[in-house]
Each structure stands twice: as C-alpha cells, then as structure tokens.
Amino acid sequence: MCGRFFRHGVSWADYHAALNMITPEGVDPPEANYNIAPMSIAPIIRPLEHHMPGYELAPAQWSLVPSWWKKPLSEKKFSTFNARSESVNESKTFQGSFRHHRCLIPMSGFYEWTGSKGAKTPFAISLRNRRWFCCAGLWNRAMIDGSEIDTFTILTTTPNDVMAGLHTRMPVIIHPEDYVRWMTAHYNDVYDLMRPFPAFDMHAWPVNAAVGNVRNNGPQLIEER
C-alpha cells in the first residue's frame, strides 16, 4: 500500500536529465509537496500523446478513474489509489491502463504507519542519496459530467526487508535506466520491473505525527523524531 507520499522541489533541468521531457518555457515546475494524499492533484510523467516523440509532466488526480466510468465520482465506492501488480492485467479497472497508459510518478519518498490502533507511528521511506525517484503508475482519462479528467494510480508489490516491518505492500520503484521501457514497452515485457526495490538502497525513519492530517504540509513533516 502507498497512501501518502512527498516530493521535494525538482527543477525542469532535473526532469529533462532523467528523460527526454518537454519542459515548458516561462512556467515554474510543480512546487514541493510533503503531504500528497489520494484525490490530490500531482504531476505524472507520461509519453506525449498522438505518437509524438518525448515525454511530458502532466497534472492528474490520484485515484484512477477508468475510461469506462460514466457516473459522478461521488458514486465511485471502490478504492483505486493503488493497484496490485500481481493482478493488474486481470483487473477490469486497471487492465486497459496497464496495457496502454503506463506512467511514472515522481516522488522523494512515501509514508507508512505502524503500531497499534490509536497509537500508530508514521514513518517516511526514501532512497539513499536520491533527492527524487519515480514509482510505476497507470493513468487514464474519463469523461465525468461533461469534463475530461486525468487520474492515476500507483502500483504496489511485495515488501523488501526495509518495508516488511512496516507494511505488507510497497510501491513499485523503477530504476532510471528502465523509465522508458516501463512507459513504452509491450505490457508483456514489463512484468520483471514490478519487483521490490533493493532494500540496501532504501531507508526509513519515524516522523512527525502531524503528517496524519492532510491539511499539514512542509518539510518539517519528514524530520526524524
């Protein structure tokens, strides 16, 4: 499970260095955000549409709405902020996105809570010596109440040794050399990418309980307690 994440400020130059991205002139990159929750708007990286070469950073809402969904969002009662990698190609909700609309979710880390009910401790989890990285995502576009909406989900897999004591799932983290393959290869050729990230490249630390309130934000949320 990955139900909350954070992202430091990332420059257009850094995005462009990671991928052949179209970076708009005169527009600031997305601001840092230390408490991104489901239903929030966050940037995703995806191939340009209409078979144009290159990639773009685009805003999307976190919690995927499949293209076949036509009802108001208030009637959507099933959770779609995460998708299990093991069954993604058999899911009616995620199959089309997995086959045709894979994307990357830039982040600097994510949160998990552990402990007894009512006394859970939040932990931040990140990569060592990396200011930002990308998780595997899926996106889709639906027409809701006459308006187009782009949404995304984060794929999850089994935990590595760092995550095993915190949660039974972890997000699928993609190595930079596999960014393009994840987004553009045939879906049968990306299953090997949906594996736990090496534990020795990750670390976790307890953080401020204030992160539990989605209205709180700022770098103080990831300070070690």
Q: Label the pairing between strands 147-157 and 82-84.
A: parallel
Query: 32-43, pLDDT tens digit by residue?
Result: 999 999 999 999
Whole-number pLDDT of residue 25: 83
* Residue range of the domain that includes 165: 5-222
**CATH code, domain carrying 134:** 3.90.1680.10
Nearest Cα to Cα of residue 159 among 108, 184, 123: 123
Q: How many domains does the chain have?
A: 1
Contacts of 191 (CB under 8 A, 6+ apart): none
pTM: predicted TM-score of the whole model, two decimal places: 0.95
Q: What is the pLDDT of residue 74?
A: 83
Average pLDDT over all residues of the chain: 94
Contact 142, 97 (CB under 8 A): no
Choice among 79-83, 99-103, 143-147, 221-225 with the minimum mean pLDDT = 143-147
Q: What percent of the chain has pLDDT over 90?
A: 83
- Residues assigned a catalytic role: 2, 112
* Neighbour tally for 125: CB within 10 Å: 21
DSSP annotation of 12 reads H
Beta bridge partners of 67: none
What's the CA gap between 166 and 187, in Å, rounded?
30
Using alpha carbons, select from 81, 108, 118 the residue that is nearest to residue 209.
118
Give the pLDDT score at 80: 96
Q: Read off the pLDDT of each residue in 46-72 and give the average, rounded to a whole number.
A: 91
Q: What is the pLDDT of residues 75-116, one digit of tens each?
A: 888 999 999 999 999 999 999 999 999 999 999 999 999 987
Contact 189, 181 (CB under 8 A): yes
The per-residue pLDDT for 146 is 84
Q: Which residue has the tokens 């499970």?
A: 1
Q: Say which amino acid occupies 222.
A: I
Angle at 111 between CA 55 and CA 159, to 5 degrees: 85
pLDDT of residue 70: 87
pLDDT digits over 148-197, tens only?
A: 999 999 999 999 999 999 999 999 999 999 999 999 999 999 999 999 99
Q: How far apart are CA 90 and CA 21, in angstroms?
A: 31
Closest among 224, 33, 198, 34 to 122, alpha carbons compared: 224
Looking only at the bridges linking them, the beta strands covering 202-206 and 133-144 are: unpaired
